[in-house]
Amino acid sequence: MISDGPETVAIASRQVTVCWRRSARARRISMRIDARSGHVILTLPPRARRDDALALLRSHSAWVVANLARIPQAPRWHDGGQVLIDGRPHVIRHCPQARRGVWIEGEVIHVSGEAAFLVRRLLAFLREEARTRLGAGLDALSRQAGLRPTRLTVRDTRSRWGSCTADGAIMLCWRLIMAPTEVQHYVMAHELAHLRHMNHGPDFWMLVDRLTPHRRMAELWLRREGATLLRDMQE
């Protein structure tokens, strides 16, 4: 029996966390590293054996260990720690006796309630801030560009910072709220440009460059820092 839950497996003198997946569409056993959780994902066809999947894992142990080592450390949120908002570090202050939820004063973000719920409260606050700030930013840029999406959704995605559907709906990853505003601007411009060009051809990139001056800086920042934002937060 293979469960979907994580399991610790010893390979190459270290412990790795493995998540098992059964897929009716899979034709062979496959393996990937989930950069967000730091887990190894093993996907098996319906009749594949667990032992064969473990053999694949162990035969590629050097690759697994090397790729896990490249994943940045997950952010740790705790009293006195830091969280990024618009790319700027904000000190986390736990206020157990307060009754204001979560609020920002200058470069400090205050979190009320029990310490056990600090990460959960911060996540909820940042998601709501993302809806407000990213929504306002996209609206302003779309008015300036004359490109109006049919709707905006803000979600938690594992790989994409944004997307645009054929019917004009734009999705943005809430974690962009932690990136610099220039990076946010670029991702919005990128998705708005898809309203006119549903491809990544020369005309698309020309439009992106007309909509934002931050393309080069943002692409470099996302390559260097983006993986950290995608990690699951820890206490």
Same domain, 140 and 63: no
Same domain, 130 and 97: yes
Same domain, 176 and 155: yes
Look at residue 76 in the predicted model and tell me its pLDDT.
82
Look at residue 229 in the predicted model and tell me its pLDDT.
86
Same domain, 141 and 185: yes
Task: State which residues form the domain around 26.
Answer: 6-70
- Is residue 193 within 8 A of residue 219, CB to CB? The reply is no
Look at residue 198 in the predicted model and tell me its pLDDT.
95
Q: What angle do CA 88, 93, 96 make, to 5 degrees?
A: 150
Look at residue 147 in the predicted model and tell me its pLDDT.
95
Same domain, 95 and 196: yes
| Residues whose CB is less than 8 angstroms from the CB of residue 225 and which lie 6 or more positions away in sequence, other chains included | 179
Look at residue 67 in the predicted model and tell me its pLDDT.
84
**H/E stretch holding 168:** none
Same domain, 45 and 92: no
With both helix axes pointing from N to C terminus, report the angle between 181-193 and 215-230 in degrees, rounded to the nearest 10: 110
Q: How far is CA 16 from CA 10, 12, 42, 43, 94, in A?
A: 6, 10, 12, 16, 33
Same domain, 98 and 205: yes
Same domain, 49 and 92: no
Give the CATH number, domain containing residue 94: 3.30.2010.10
The DSSP bridge partners found for residue 103 are 110
- Is residue 75 within 8 A of residue 231, CB to CB? The reply is yes
Look at residue 1 in the predicted model and tell me its pLDDT.
42
Q: Based on the structure, what is the number of domains in the chain? A: 2
Same domain, 177 and 126: yes
- Rounded CA-CA distance 199/217 in Å is 22
103 phi and psi angles, rounded to 5 deg:
-150, 160
Task: Of 175, 148, 147, give the one whose Cα is nearest residue 161.
Answer: 175
- Is residue 163 within 8 A of residue 171, CB to CB? The reply is yes
190 phi and psi angles, rounded to 5 deg:
-60, -50
Rg of the chain (C-alpha set): 21
Low-confidence ranges of the chain (pLDDT < 70): 1-5, 232-235
